[in-house]
Chains A and B, each alone.
Chain A
Amino acid sequence: MISISVQDLSIEIKLDNGLYLFISESAAGKTYMGELIKLINSVKPEWSERLVFVSSKSEVDTNSIRLMENGVLILDRYDLYQSKELTDLIVQASKTNIVLLDLKAISRYKLGLVSFCKIERTRNAFKVVKV
Chain B
Amino acid sequence: MLTIYTSKEYFPQDKKYIADVESLRPLVRLEDNIFTKQVLSKIEKAERQDDTTFIDRFGRGLYVSCLSTGTKTLLLLNNSDLELILNGVEMGSNCWELLQDLEEGFVYIPNKDIQLRRVKEDSVVRVNDTVYTGEDINEALEEARYD
Contact = CB atoms under 8 A, between A and B. Distances in A.
A-B complex is real = yes
B89 interface: yes
Interface stretch (A10-18, A23-31, A90-98): A23-31
Interface in B22-59: 43-45, 58
Contacts of A27: 43-45, 67-68, 70-71, 92, 94
B68 A79 contact: no
Interface residues of A, number: 15
A105 B110 CA distance: 7
B7 to A, nearest CB: 12
Given A80-B19, A80-B20, A104-B90, A26 B111 contact: no
B62 to A, nearest CB: 10
B112 interface: yes
A80 B60 CA distance: 30
- Chain B contact residues: over half helix, strand or loop, or mixed? loop
- Chain A contact residues: over half helix, strand or loop, or mixed? loop
A25 to B, nearest CB: 4
A79 B44 contact: no
A8 to B, nearest CB: 13
B79 interface: no
Given A31-B68, A80-B19, A123-B58, A26 B91 contact: yes
A106 B93 CA distance: 13
Given A32-B66, A105-B110, A26 B92 contact: yes
Q: Among A24, A26, A122, find the residue whose CB has the most chain B CB atoms closer than 10 A.
A: A26
Interface of B: 19-20, 43-45, 58, 60, 66-71, 87, 89-95, 110-113
A-B CB proximity, top 8 nearest: A26-B70, A26-B92, A27-B68, A25-B92, A123-B58, A26-B68, A79-B89, A24-B93
19 contacts: A24-B92, A24-B93, A25-B93, A26-B90, A26-B95, A27-B43, A27-B71, A27-B94, A28-B68, A28-B92, A77-B90, A80-B19, A80-B90, A104-B89, A104-B91, A104-B111, A105-B89, A122-B58, A123-B60
